[in-house]
Amino acid sequence: MQYGMYQEIMDQPISLRLTIDSEKEHIEKISEDFRKLDKIFLIGCGSSISTCYTIRDVVKSISNIEIDVQTGYEFVEHQCLENGSNMGLIVTSQSGETSDTLEALRKAKKHGIKTVSITNMPESSMAKEADESIITRCGEEKAILGTKTYVTQLFSLYAIFFNMIKSERAEQVLNQLYTVPDLIENLLKTTEEDNKKLAEIHKDVNLFYCMGGGVNFGLAYKLAMTMFMEGSLKHACPVYSGEFRHGLIERVEEGVTVVFLKSGDEYDKVTLRAIDFCQNLGVNTIIFDLKDYSDIDVLLTPFALIVPLEWFIYHLSIFNGEDPGSTRHIGKVRY
């Protein structure tokens, strides 16, 4: 049996290609405008904020652009703003109606901050109220786990910022970014069966620690917060690799499961040390390593790792008798 999420996973390449075709020139214009700003806020929730974490950590590794990532409520309730400041704000939301993110957009506009929305719904409040709106071409997405909206949001953020950064490395990454639809299309065909088997092996695990550093923390956050907890109804916790020795190191032992996101042996050495420590203790380690899937630049790792992770979560849910796209409370409980 195929659940609704299956087709949405398979739709990712076409959604990316449609978004590129329709928004490429628009994104380049936004990039030129945002290059002049002193600071940029990125606002999102759930899967959307994970894309913000990712692009923040990628950008800071090769440029000095000042980026601040916040949830909508934190920005609305705790961020001091001054009129006339040379700042911008980008909000990310599949629906364009996420209440706290929308309030953040409105607060920014009241203070004269330049605003951009990235949303899948062209008639949504965010699309209408932001100064500029990037529309991801995903069609309707019903499953709770952002798949095609996740990759198109992430693509849009990468395209905005890598067009802003004027360096040889940024140009190389930008060129590879436009090959991502082909990469994902190939991974959809080649990674399902292995990760279905992996899911069956781990179907009885109830708690997963999800660890990543640098470019991989945002994806570790998504994996724990929205994929394990929302999708397969498993307890999960995201952990910065650099924080492993400040807490989790005292909890790892045989029977504990840690999922590591890795970008190869020459990147993020603190993650490698954590892997070695866990393996020496006999910890149940699951490693998703970029080199097993692609030779793409390490800064684009999330685009390669997301597909095997989606197949893993999809089948993990099914092995536990759950529909991977359904919800129990989200959308029903209002804050």
- pLDDT value for 323: 81
- What is the mean pLDDT of the segment spanning 11-25? 98
Beta strands in the chain (DSSP E): 39-43, 67-70, 87-93, 114-119, 132-135, 207-212, 235-240, 257-262, 284-289
Q: How confident is the model at residue 332 (pLDDT cuts 50, 70, 90)?
A: very low
pLDDT tens digits along 273-300: 999 999 999 999 999 999 999 999 999 9
Which pLDDT score, from 0 to 100, does residue 329 have? 52
Residue 333 has pLDDT above 60, yes or no: no
**Residue 225's pLDDT band (boundaries 50, 70, 90)?**
very high
Give residue 331's pLDDT.
53
Is the pLDDT assigned to residue 194 strictly greater than 80?
yes
Choose between 201 and 322: higher pLDDT: 201
Residue 334 has pLDDT above 80, yes or no: no
Q: Is the dihedral of CA 61, 98, 148, 120 positive or negative?
A: negative
CB 26 within 8 A of CB 122: no
φ and ψ at residue 62, rounded to 5 degrees: -135, 5
* pTM for the full predicted model: 0.95
Beta bridge partners of 114: 88
Task: State pLDDT tens for residues 87-133.
Answer: 999 999 999 999 999 999 999 999 999 999 999 999 999 999 999 99
- pLDDT value at 321 more than 50: yes
Average pLDDT of span 8-35: 97
Contact 241, 211 (CB under 8 A): yes
State the DSSP string of 218-230: HHHHHIIIIIIII
pLDDT tens column, 203-215: 999 999 999 999 9
